Structure 1
Amino acid sequence: MSLTDRQQAAVTESEALRSELSDFHRRIWSFAEPAWREYRSAAAYVDLLRAEGFEVETGSGGMPTAFHAVWGDDGPDIGLYAEYDASPGHSQDTVPYRKPREGLHPWAPGFTDAHSALGVGALAGALAAKRAIERTGGRGRIHLFGEPAEKVCGSKAVHAAKGYYDELDAAISYHPLVQNTALWDIHNCLYWSVVFTFQCAEGQSTDAPAWVSSEVFGAGAHNSVRSPGAVDALGLMLTATKYAKENMFPRTGLWSLNEAVLGAANATADNLPPRISQIQFSWRSPLIGIQEQILEVLRRSARHVAGLANCEVSMRWVTKTRPGLKNHVMAKTLFSHLAELGPAAFAPEVFEFGRELERVLGHEPSEDPFLPEIHRVVTPQEQDAETRRTLPPWQDCTGADDYTEYSWHAPTVRFFTAKPLLKAVNGDVTHWANNAMNGLPAAIDPVWSYAGSVIAATALCLIDDPDLLKSAREEFEVNREAAPEAYHAPLLPRDFAPPVDLPWPEYVETARGFEWQLPTTADFGEPVA
């Protein structure tokens, strides 16, 4: 599919934005703020978008680091989104050896799968499409959503529940990753997450034996039998969950369950029962029945371990996403532009940087240190067949990402542009050596710039071709109607309170510099009955 004059104008604008937005990308990369705590990153986007003439709602959906930016007076309405959350524990400077960024905690956040580039790629596409419409005239409304906390699949389920995607005519989902391709049939799975809070209200168990008294052991709290407390409850919950995996669901279908211990104010060790502990569980699977079974086992375990530790337990939802809905019309349209405009080209300094990383990793430097995928464009069907080989025949989705929420409200395409990833570490996107390149302009700017051009060209193609948009909508309606009814509406209620007040890690500035800080909350969810 050759580009129209208006699409070519958008691509020209996107290419010009590469130098214009390079410093902006480096700025977002340097902030490296984790989920729900992307205050400086969100503010930077809002300021830039307002300067470009977008109307911006900040704090959209009740999320302080989310936003909804709109430009244009008349449709069609095309939805794009930016992400900008980093991964705690993955700080890496832009140097060819392992080194956390200067002046920060060694386990500070860093960008692994380059959400910094994801957001700037979408931003470039939005600005390029907008500028092309301004230059050439015509209709079109561009929506750019600021989507925090993708690492916990957080914001998109909230935006969907509160109706933010209902007016969209189409949506484009982008991620820098391993290949230059788009998804076809196989999209991402369901992803649910909860936080259990254990609280020890009574320091002593009410059913302690009668012979335990100060007459026997002497007065004083240090000589009293105390409740096991909240830390014991957390430890028991973690252990019980590991033991109970066979009861959650048979080990088929590539489902997974992960946990993280959230911070609490138990800073001393004394003969006092720890009062509060919190643990987050996140699980992904291809079927809602598996999700519900895992949830029930988690709830059952939480009730029992709370009783053993003389605690109360409550549960609060973090997110609840649906699987992705395919759209071949959208995939074919975007892929035509992906193939025509790519793949991205990289300067000699990127290859030299990669060879230096090979040396540090103990490998002989090679002429091309990167995976071959960066040099070619892979068809959606080829990518789909490659993924299919890893799945049971009955499974139609894999992995997790909350972009899937867009796909139930408008025809949606999901695509990728390939980052330079080292062959020496098998392309591991979380490896420090690959993370070092996420802050190197010569390595990362071509990745998001390529995406910006593809996004802008695809957006204008959808805006300018009513028949194409109609075909995409018709396929969307057919596929949606054929899907389980449970997925037709968001799984979270419209009045859902985003979990922004839970103790997610963040950096705050004190007299000592940037330090980890955990906020307080009194909302621990509903009691686990």
Structure 2
Amino acid sequence: MTQLTAEAKKTAQNWIDDNLERLTEWHTTIWELAEPAWREYRSQRWYVERLRAEGFEVEDGSAGMPTAFAASWTNEGAGAAAGSGSGSGSAAGPTLLTYAEYDAVPGNSQAATTSESPREGLTRFAPGHTDPHSVLGISTLAGVLGAKHAMEQHGIAGTIKYTGEPAEKMHGSKVVHGLRGYYDDADAIVSFHPFYMLPLCNTARWDTQCGAYYSKVYSFVCDHPETWQISSADPNSPIPASHSAARAPGANVALMQMYTASRTMLDSMLPATGGWSFSDAILSDGQATADNLPQRVARLQFSWRTPDIEMAEHILKVLDRNAEAAASMAHCELEERWVARSRPGRTNHAMSSVLYANLEEVGAPRYGAEAIEVAQEIQRSLGLEPSDRPFLAETEQLITPQEAERGLREHMPAWQRNWTSDDYVEMSHYAPLVRFYVSRPALQPVPGAGPYPSWVMNALGGIPATIAPTIETAGKTIAGTFLDLLTKPELLAEAQREFDERVAADPMPALLPADFEAPIDLPWPDYSGPEGARHW
């Protein structure tokens, strides 16, 4: 490590230490907003205003997505004033990119307390941060601002790009940003997520990346019910669907046929191994009044995760056939809308090595006395004897990427290349990328008591004393990685060489057209109410 790099890293780490209380307060703001996918208006506005206050040039609503943004800041080197701009390979040095996420999940409202309770004024069915994406965004922001401060103090040239990525739970924005060229000038990308499964805790991915993810909405529309059986119309009634007439089956019947047919065919879609999953959601246009009229519209979203594209395409063919049959049976027209269509991720060992070296330098998170007291109070609320060391042991330990890879492969068939899904995979096709994880607070299971209820991890993700260590560790790791890449051109050169080799060996073109538009107009769940008051 050069003296410049070492001093710059220390400066960045000191900035994060000095601002940790403020960063944790920022996190509480986003955590409390808890806005669902494509409807993160206040969360996005907070980031846009914060970044502009920090000197970034920000595009509000990037790529036609109202709750997305794209920010950039450039330092031109020693003695130069900071300004906005970007450009890979420019005189201003490399361009490095990371991002924020801030979408929450409906049905998971939890207060930052030690007992199960929704946030004040909301039902338990309101959204809450489960992963939590709130700390994902604030942790990367900590890294960005720490690196920016060090670049200014030490005259380090380079550009930082920071994107706001809504609707991650549906792989929403990254595919759109990618198709519109927002990642094209990045020399390297750092992708962070709070840990969500072992052994991927306080480590970086090595060979096994996330796989393919497809999500599609099938809308059944009964616009012409009067043509179902013309001869049955009551000649004494001007209403096409009078009470004595034969009614068209309508959209609800189509949805039911589609849902039951697709669910009963799961065993025939893919093998019982391979770690694939299949999820569904019913979108509502607000037709909640029962009447003699057939339901005019019903929308059903299916999302599926698979190890590779071939498997994803097979499921798609089955669903498309089912949808056509259901629409025909119920006298409906079929409308289809893609939500996401993501490729499996690309590995980059060079980037993983650089980042993990910085994670080793920072060290794993440590939970202090106040955090332990919070965890013990949760145990008491569940009728458990408080533990001296209540947190999951792995949350305070590092594991090398290679060892994490070995542990991960133990759960996978030998033929399988990818596992689970996350939309960082799309970004990995535009520049060398590392995906890394830092622990979020999780409790060690008590023998014989079974797993903790889900609200426990959600609550721990919103309590300042328990979530601050994630922000500190991840932020310092990102800042250090950025500073290494900015001051050591040989590291970027090796990462780019590996990236080019992997692209040449396994080309994977984008799966959606370049003019694909995010489905922001569909009736996604949302809060209602005037400014300052929210209802679910």
**Pair in the same fold by TM > 0.5:** yes
Aligned to 2:85: none
Q: What is residue 178 of structure 2 aligned with on the other side?
A: 160
Instruction: Tell me by how many angstroms 1:427 deviates.
Output: 10
**Aligned positions of 1:20-169 closer than 5 A:** 20-72=22-74, 73=76, 74-169=92-187
* Structure 2, unaligned runs of 5 or more: 77-91
Determine the C-alpha separation between the residues in 1 that align with 2:393 and 2:331: 57
Q: Could you report, residue by residue, the CA deviation over 1:444-488 in whole angstroms, capped at 9, with x for unpaired residues?
A: 0111121010000000100111111100100111112112x3x1x
Flag structure 1 segments of 5+ consecutive residues without an equivalent: 517-529
Q: What corresponds to 2:218 in structure 1?
A: 196
Q: Are the counterparts in 1 of residues 445 and 452 from structure 2 also a CA contact under 8 Å?
A: no
CA distance in 2, matches of 1:140, 1:19: 28
2:236 and 2:154 map into 1 onto residues whose CA distance is 90
* CA shift for structure 1 position 420: 1.6
Matched, 1:490 2:510: yes
Q: Deviations over 1:408-438 (max 9, x none)?
A: 1111001111112022389979810111111
Distance in 2 (alpha carbons) for counterparts of 1:324 and 1:218: 59
- After superposition, give the CA deviation of every residue in 1:109-142 in whole Å (9 maximum; x if it has no partner): 1111110000000101111111101011021110
Partner of 2:334: 313
In 1: Cα distance, 2:238 partner to 2:475 partner: 74
For the 8 Å contact 1:421–1:429, the answer to whether it is kept is no
Report sequence identity in percent: 45
Structure 2 letter corresponding to 1:501: D
Q: What does residue 523 of structure 1 align with?
A: none
- TM-score, structure 2 normalization: 0.91
* Pair 204,463 (structure 1): closer, same or farther in 2 beyond 3 Å: same
Report the TM-score when normalising by structure 1: 0.93
Residues matched between the structures, number: 511
Aligned position for 2:270: 249
Evaluate the alpha carbon distance shift between residue 272 and residue 432 of structure 1 in structure 2; reply closer, same or farther with a 3 A threshold. Answer: same
Alignment of 1:145-294 (within 5 A): 145-178=163-196, 179-204=201-226, 206-207=228-229, 212=232, 214=234, 221-294=242-315
Change in Cα spacing, 1:135 to 1:215, as seen in structure 2 (3 Å) is closer
Shift of 1:91: 0.5
1:515 aligns with 2:535: yes
**Corresponding residue number in structure 2 for 1:522:** none
Mapped to 1, the partners of 2:136 and 2:300 lie a distance apart of 29
- Aligned AA for 1:43? R
Mapping of residues 417-456 of structure 1, within 5 Å: 417-424=438-445, 431-456=454-479
**Contact 1:428 / 1:434 at 8 angstroms: preserved in 2?**
no
Q: Match for 2:498: what amino acid? A: E
Following TM superposition, by how much is the alpha carbon of 1:508 offset from its aligned partner in structure 2, in angstroms?
2.6
Give secondary structure in 1 for the equivalent of 2:19.
helix
- Give the Å deviation of 1:375: 1.5
Tell me the distance in 2 between the aligned counterparts of 1:463 and 1:93.
41
2:12 — aligned with what?
10
Q: Which amino acid aligns with 1:497?
A: E
Q: Is the 8 A contact 1:247 1:297 kept in 2?
A: no
Shift of 1:360: 2.1
Partner SS for 2:130: coil
